[in-house]
A and B are shown apart, each in its own frame.
Chain A
Amino acid sequence: MARAVAVVGVGQTHHGRRMDVSYPDLVREAVVRVFEDTGLSPKDVDGVVSGTMPSMMEGVALTHLYFAEAMQAVGKPILKTETCGSTGVSIAHTAFYWVASGMAEVVLAVGHEKMYEGDSQATMTTVLDPFYQRYFLAGAPGVFSMQSQLWATRYKIPQDKIRDAAAFISVTHHQSAFDNPYAHIKMKVTMEDVKNSRIIVYPIRLLDVCPNSDGACAVIFASEKVAKRLGRKVAWVKGVGYRGDEQFFGDSDKVVWQSAIEAAKQAYDQAGIKDPLKELDVAEVYNPFTYQEMIFYECFGFCEFGKAPDLVLRGIFSREGELPVCPSGGVLCTNPIGATGLIRVAEAAMQVTGRAGEHQVPGAKLALAHAMGGIDQFNGVMILGSEL
């Protein structure tokens, strides 16, 4: 049987526009906090894994070199994991397998991004190949617009219903962000505000989409031995899953989205989850776009295909609902891309250890963390639970 691995502590920066600090200092802020949270010190760390979005985002390549000191990684074993937007969860997976392999007792995982120092849309376009796709996809919004259209058409969901459900989601998450001291966007929004906000790429409006954020997140993974020694509640890794579709956006169905469905299934199987809506207490889904968020609910088996808007409008996924989604405010309110996936893991860990403060879901014991990357290409999932 594989070794048990736990998240024993987390640290995050105050995400947002952080022109008050240099990029290395931003990274350091999260790292200092995770050591404070766990009571461990750098000398306890057996390995460090870090990652971020493309080097062109901030114009520095091989950032693990630049941040050696900031991560307290000097003299340490190191790995560098990068998978576009899903980087944060892939980093968590790396730390998990590292401890699970027996090659480390304690691994520090760090994800970071300083988006205000770059041009995110211009950078994201360079993800596309220069022969073909780069001409047609203007950053992320166009892709997600097409994806939601495909979904709405396939299941004959009335435009109004989807529009209302997406707005409902936006209102819910913006409200939750007030209860998260680290969240970036803290703005009171109403359904009308969302529906009247500036169009980005139809039907997606400004309040349907994530911000650009600066931020970093640091999470410490440890073996059962260390977890027990620390004597505090920890979040056990119950399941992990990851899949990637083809590079060409047109090659796969992004509604019955295989990479999302199978990544979740791999994690559910490992965790022994059969009915995610019932068994999960919290889902920190990667949700930069309200419309797309509903497609994730369906692909993760929270409801049948085409039914997510109905459940959203009934409050099933709200803070007091059957399965609260992103009580942290989610990616919609905070998106430092290289850190975002890891923040989902950190938030899930905080929930199941009762350390989520004002946005704690009472009694949460089992949580899902998820990140997506590329042009609707990659999906990574991690399930965390309070029981071994």
Chain B
Amino acid sequence: MAREYRTLKTEVRLPYEVAYGATWTRFFEGLKDKKIYGTRCKECKRVLVPARSFCPRCFVTTDEWVEVKEEGTLVAWCYTNYRYFGMPIEPPFVTGLIRLDGTDVNFLHLIGGFDLSNFEEVSKTLRNGIKVKAVWSEERRGHILDIRYFEPV
């Protein structure tokens, strides 16, 4: 058994200030107004959500804005009930990939609106393919959590 020596406990915390830019400002402002915006690529015709300034595949500017339905189909989900340092969401919580109606990529967000404390119960409620609908926060500030979660319909 190799000898162990001292350790130094230290934390690193660094300040950053990140710019939204035009496209994302419009997308997040949209959330304040209970609107989910996507953009359509003129070449591949896909509607991408969240809204993008360019299509990553066709590599052209996407400036056709589409107000996307706040309902969609649950494509995949996962249940988190453990902790790590600096977690932004209190566990337990469910994250899902949602194909919002009329879009061509999956949207990542929380699934909620029912008791999440017991995984067995959750797995009875959630099934891939069910319909979900956005539930908005009372107070909205242009933040991804202006959508509180997506609730099974």
Contact = CB atoms under 8 A, between A and B. Distances in A.
Does A pair with B? yes
Interface of A: 19-20, 56, 59, 119, 121-122, 125, 130-139, 141-143, 145-147, 149-150, 153, 199-202, 246-251
A143 B78 CA distance: 8
A142 B78 contact: yes
B12 A138 contact: no
Given A20-B3, A137-B95, A251 B105 contact: yes
Given A19-B5, A132-B50, A201 B75 contact: no
Contacts of A248: 50, 105, 108
Given A119-B85, A249-B97, A138 B50 contact: no
A142 B88 CA distance: 14
B18 interface: yes
Contacts of A149: 76-78, 128
Contact of A201 (B16, B79, B89, B128): B79
A133 B108 contact: yes
Interface residues of B, number: 46
B106 interface: yes
21 contacts: A59-B12, A119-B85, A122-B87, A125-B84, A125-B88, A131-B28, A132-B144, A135-B89, A136-B109, A138-B82, A138-B87, A138-B93, A142-B78, A150-B76, A150-B97, A199-B119, A201-B79, A202-B123, A249-B108, A250-B106, A251-B48
Interface string B136-150: 000000001100000
Given A138-B95, A251-B56, A121 B84 contact: yes
A39 to B, nearest CB: 27
B82 A200 contact: yes
A130 B28 CA distance: 13
B86 interface: yes
A133 B119 CA distance: 23
Nearest to B24: A131
Interface string B47-66: 01010000011000000000
Contact of B80 (A138, A247, A249, A250): A138
A146 B79 contact: no
Interface in B2-26: 2-5, 7, 10, 12, 16, 18, 20, 24
A20 B5 contact: yes
A250 B24 contact: no
Contacts of A119: 84-85
A142 B95 contact: yes
Contacts, number: 107
Contacts of A133: 108
Contacts of A200: 82
A222 B79 CA distance: 47
B108 A137 contact: yes
B134 interface: no
Nearest to B84: A121
Given A125-B86, A248-B108, 13 more contacts: A20-B5, A125-B88, A130-B18, A131-B18, A137-B108, A149-B77, A149-B128, A201-B78, A202-B79, A246-B57, A248-B105, A250-B106, A251-B48
A119 B78 CA distance: 22
A30 B27 CA distance: 49
Contacts of B57: 246
B56 A146 contact: no
A248 B66 CA distance: 19
Contact of A146 (B48, B76, B85, B91): B76
A147 B128 CA distance: 12
Please provide the 5 A-B residue pairs with the shortest distance between their CB atoms, ordered closest to farther.
A250-B106, A146-B76, A121-B84, A145-B78, A20-B2
A198 to B, nearest CB: 9
B110 interface: yes
Contacts of B16: 130
Nearest to A22: B5
Nearest to B97: A250
Given A132-B144, A136-B109, A248-B108, A153 B86 contact: no
Nearest to B20: A131
A130 B19 CA distance: 11
Nearest to A137: B95
A375 to B, nearest CB: 10
B12 A122 contact: no
A251 B75 CA distance: 12
Contacts of B24: 131
Contacts of B78: 141-143, 145-146, 149, 201-202
Nearest to B99: A250
Nearest to B96: A146
Contacts of A142: 78, 80, 95
Contact of A122 (B18, B84, B119): B84
Contact of A135 (B10, B56, B145): B145
B4 A20 contact: yes
